[in-house]
Structure 1
Amino acid sequence: MNLYRSIIKITLGLAFMAVFLSCEEEVQNPGFESDDIPRIFGWEQIYGVDIEDSLYINVQVSPSDGVTYSWQLDGEEISTDPNLKYKFEDPSTYEVHLAIMRNGVPNTRTATVEVNKPFVPKEYNKKMVGFLTSAGSLADVDFSNLTHLVISYAIVDEVAYPETIVDTTFAKDMNVPQIVQSAHNAGVYVMLDVTDNMAAINGGGLYGDLTFYEAISDADKRAKVISTVVKFAVDNQLDGINFYLNNTWGGPGSLDPDILSAFFSEVPDYLPAGPGPDGEFFYTASVPGGWTTSVLSPLAAVERIDWVNIQPYRYENLSPTSHSPGWAFGDLAATWIGLGMPAEKIVGGFPAFGLKYDMPTDGTAVTWGNLWMYATYHSFKEILTMDAEAHTKSMLDVDDGLYYDGHATIQEKANVVLDQGFGGMMMWSIESDTKDQEKSLLNAAYDALGNN
């Protein structure tokens, strides 16, 4: 019994001490000065909402006494309540802005709102495929002139990325989810470009870089490359994948056609269903022109390939001349048709950049080893700064000549597409074009294909 009383006394004593200590350590609410900045908590940079639902933004403000609120949508005030509830009428991308004030002390926040609708692909006469590289952004894209957007690029390089083999870190910087939703709202398909390292302005591979080919030369790594990019595409709600082996010459010789055939033939085993016209997930490839074209001929035997983006540009010469001549457009298409690729699966490419020559005058011989010193690429936007009427021409008299595709050249190539029954056209790359509709190459091609 004495032991029982002792336990009771100890328990009561501990309880008393706990209460005493809790009172001693009770944290008091902080006080605020009249000129303290009211802080905003719970704010996001991007909000998404379906067109059928209302947007809710609930934030916490501290200190909140005496705070006034002003919610603005694209510059117009829509509410003065502490939290926002808003129903949109149209699917689009909006800017929402919150301005608060406490005793004359302001604070603000701004975010993007993506109002979504179910994806309904637009109707078109011929495909207009545009490539957007990580040098560009959503602000560069005019979806009204596109049927398919290809986001470039996921690099295959097992040395640089030993754990994943494929680098997709570009996706965060480019905000791929927002690009996809904006494209889908406009009825445009979105695809992922999988490549070697390259020069963004012209889409050319870096000299001697065979990282893509080296990775797929091993069966296990090949499987990892395919499964990784398919998972990325599915996770980001993309509609397809484009593969671009942009270096097709390996030092002493060409790439092994058996390895290329194995790779391109295995891809379909990994593809999910998709939103294509026949429920397909798009599977395409880009092929450079030039003397190594036939290296990628195994593509023609893969029935599952939806189309090939041919690149009849970057035809540099040791003397000033067009790098994107009309004859190359037709010849490269004919080459692929000769290899067995159906005409309707040919998508003919044109550049949104030009090649400027500035040849040496000191007697230096120009060779393939030093041509890069005397020939430089320039975006179409840059060309327009040199001549505001450049879209009406195809060459500027700058140095030893700046050669590019103007509207007349685009029309000429579109006529070939229409006359020969090709699948459409593609442009590299969107951020190099202008969004001025009167001068845009993309707009000119879209119209020339009969899509408007």
Structure 2
Amino acid sequence: MKNIYQILMMIAIIFAGGFAAGTIFTKNSEQPDSIKLAKTAAQSGKNPVQKSAPELPDASPKVLIGYVQDYRDPDAVDYSSLTHVIFSFAHPEKNGSLSFNGDTALNNLRRIVSNAHKHDTKAILAVGGWFHIKGGESYEYFKLAIARPASRNKLVNELVSLTDREKLDGIDIDFEHPRSQKEAEFLEVFIHDLSQKLHAKDKELSVAVHSKIHSVTGTEAGNIIYKPSMFREVDYVNIMAYDGQWDGGYNAANLSPYPFTENIVNYWANLFDTHNISKEKLVLGVPFYAQPENPSIKQVSYEAIINLNPENAWRDKINMNGTTYYYNGESTMQKKTNLALTSGFGGMMIWEVGHDAKGSYSLTGAIAEVLKDSDTKLKYYSIKNLD
């Protein structure tokens, strides 16, 4: 009996031990917190920032400015490639008043403005020029108008009033040229006063300037004087980089050859860098006419040269009317445009749109093509640099 009791006790102990061991095993075999299935993450209290598309840096648009003389048919002008058309000229009087070359000129101005605005082109009025409608140089009238406070103020007010009345986008000052420090100071004051009033009305102000370089010696022309601080007051500085044929003895070949233009570009670029003025204000002027080797013969237009033979578009010199003519053909124009762009200039200027050939031989179109290609490259590199 005792043995049976002992056996039953052992069975009971074994059974109890197995049950306890199973319980312990079960507890220890549960997954620790570190490897349990992840619960849904709690929502953050912060809203994620929505990223917008990268903003491209503003590329300064390159300008193509074309002067148009007051007798041209406004409907014959091709505005499509021009950013600015400058009607030339209103003539300053010694007392500060303004004159136009008759009602025809004023009517042409109004048609130019209307046509330009239909093409989203700015219409500007040029004041001054070389010749005055009363005869002689405009210089004699202009210098007196800006030398005295009363006449200077009158001229400023006349121009601002005219800008409003004729719906102009701005004024271009073509004082040819200040020939002393005093005259340079008078011009600076005049530009300052006019700039203040035009810019307050969101209008533009540009100034046409002598190339300042002698085409033969390549040195600075000291007889033309500007106050560099004046250029801070204007939107554009239109450089008349032509007419070098008059430097020294008459030589038609010096009209506007490429090396002459290189010297001009270097001079103005260095001047603006020295005075910490943006070179994008600088606009390189080019001629659309041909100069005769015989000065007793008249100049001819680029259009006349192309009409004679379209292949003249790729030349810079031809024989015509019994003399040799010098001009800038398409290749030279595009080369000059690239020079201006690589030098940091803001664009190109044409004297004068009425001289241009039509259609595929247009120099305006050739220049515009280079400017457009430059804008495309600038946008491409701007996007690339954002990576």
- Give your verdict on TM over 0.5: yes
- 1:284–1:222: structure 2 CA closer, same or farther, 3 Å change rule? same
Structure 1 residue 178: deviation in Å? 2.6
Paired position in structure 2 for 1:229: 159
Please tell me whether residue 258 in structure 1 is matched to residue 258 in structure 2.
no
| Alpha-carbon distance between aligned partners in 2 of 1:294 and 1:421, rounded to the nearest angstrom | 27
Alpha carbons 1:265, 1:302 under 8 Å: kept: no
Please tell me whether residue 395 in structure 1 is matched to residue 327 in structure 2.
no
Paired position in structure 2 for 1:355: 291
| Alpha-carbon distance between aligned partners in 2 of 1:293 and 1:334, rounded to the nearest angstrom | 16
Please tell me whether residue 152 in structure 1 is matched to residue 82 in structure 2.
no
Paired position in structure 2 for 1:444: 366
Bigger shift: 341-350 or 174-183?
Answer: 174-183
- Residues 197-236 of structure 1 show CA distances to partners (whole Å, capped at 9, x for unaligned) of 5399xxxx95584211121111110111111111111111
- Residues 258-298 of structure 1 show CA distances to partners (whole Å, capped at 9, x for unaligned) of 22222222222322545xxxxx3111100122454773422
Alpha carbons 2:138, 2:176 under 8 Å: kept: no
Alpha carbons 1:135, 1:431 under 8 Å: kept: no
TM-score, normalization: structure 2?
A: 0.70
By relative contact order (CA 8 Å, sep 6+), the higher-ranking structure is 2
| Alpha-carbon distance between aligned partners in 2 of 1:410 and 1:124, rounded to the nearest angstrom | 22
Paired position in structure 1 for 2:302: 380
Secondary structure in structure 2 of the residue aligned to 1:421: coil
Secondary structure in structure 1 of the residue aligned to 2:205: strand
- Residues 89-114 of structure 1 show CA distances to partners (whole Å, capped at 9, x for unaligned) of xxxxxxxxxxxxxxxxxxxxxxxxxx
- Residues 164-222 of structure 1 show CA distances to partners (whole Å, capped at 9, x for unaligned) of 6211355653432332122111111111101145399xxxx955842111211111101
| Alpha-carbon distance between aligned partners in 1 of 2:335 and 2:88, rounded to the nearest angstrom | 27
Alpha carbons 2:143, 2:183 under 8 Å: kept: no
Alpha carbons 2:305, 2:312 under 8 Å: kept: yes
Structure 1 residue 237: deviation in Å? 0.6
Paired position in structure 1 for 2:250: 318
Paired letter, 1:321: A
Secondary structure in structure 2 of the residue aligned to 1:303: helix
- Structure number with greater Rg is 2
- For the aligned residue pairs, the C-alpha RMSD in angstroms reads 2.7
Secondary structure in structure 2 of the residue aligned to 1:347: strand
Structure 1 residue 240: deviation in Å? 0.7
Structure 1 residue 254: deviation in Å? 7.0
Name whichever structure is richer in helix by fraction: 2
| Alpha-carbon distance between aligned partners in 1 of 2:139 and 2:227, rounded to the nearest angstrom | 21
Seq. identity, %: 23
| Alpha-carbon distance between aligned partners in 2 of 1:429 and 1:127, rounded to the nearest angstrom | 15
Structure 1 residue 320: deviation in Å? 4.5
| Alpha-carbon distance between aligned partners in 2 of 1:448 and 1:219, rounded to the nearest angstrom | 44
Q: 2:100 aligns with which of 134, 151, 168?
A: 168
Q: 1:242 aligns with which of 167, 172, 175?
A: 172
Alpha carbons 1:196, 1:210 under 8 Å: kept: no
Paired letter, 1:315: G
Paired letter, 1:323: L
- Alignment: residue pair count: 299
Alpha carbons 1:260, 1:296 under 8 Å: kept: no
- 1:141–1:255: structure 2 CA closer, same or farther, 3 Å change rule? farther
| Alpha-carbon distance between aligned partners in 1 of 2:132 and 2:97, rounded to the nearest angstrom | 20
Q: 1:133 aligns with which of 66, 69, 74?
A: 69
Secondary structure in structure 1 of the residue aligned to 2:171: strand
Structure 1 residue 141: deviation in Å? 0.9
Paired position in structure 2 for 1:194: 127
Alignment of 1:227-306 (within 5 A): 227-249=157-179, 256-271=183-198, 273-274=200-201, 280-289=202-211, 290=213, 292=221, 295-306=224-235
TM-score, normalization: structure 1?
A: 0.60
Alpha carbons 1:333, 1:346 under 8 Å: kept: no
Alpha carbons 2:131, 2:138 under 8 Å: kept: no
| Alpha-carbon distance between aligned partners in 1 of 2:226 and 2:235, rounded to the nearest angstrom | 15
Structure 1 residue 299: deviation in Å? 4.7
| Alpha-carbon distance between aligned partners in 1 of 2:236 and 2:229, rounded to the nearest angstrom | 10
Secondary structure in structure 2 of the residue aligned to 1:154: strand
Alpha carbons 1:310, 1:333 under 8 Å: kept: no
Please tell me whether residue 331 in structure 1 is matched to residue 263 in structure 2.
yes
Paired letter, 1:259: F
| Alpha-carbon distance between aligned partners in 2 of 1:189 and 1:258, rounded to the nearest angstrom | 29
Secondary structure in structure 2 of the residue aligned to 1:131: strand
Paired position in structure 1 for 2:332: 409
Paired letter, 2:151: K
Paired letter, 2:64: M
Alignment of 1:91-106 (within 5 A): none
Structure 1 residue 328: deviation in Å? 2.4
- 1:297–1:336: structure 2 CA closer, same or farther, 3 Å change rule? farther
- Residues 129-188 of structure 1 show CA distances to partners (whole Å, capped at 9, x for unaligned) of 001111312122111111111111101122xxx5x6211355653432332122111111
- 1:294–1:262: structure 2 CA closer, same or farther, 3 Å change rule? farther
- 1:143–1:312: structure 2 CA closer, same or farther, 3 Å change rule? same
Alpha carbons 2:178, 2:226 under 8 Å: kept: no
- 1:400–1:169: structure 2 CA closer, same or farther, 3 Å change rule? closer
| Alpha-carbon distance between aligned partners in 2 of 1:197 and 1:427, rounded to the nearest angstrom | 16
Secondary structure in structure 2 of the residue aligned to 1:256: helix
Alpha carbons 1:190, 1:240 under 8 Å: kept: yes
Contiguous gaps of at least 5 residues in structure 1 = 1-122, 275-279, 359-371
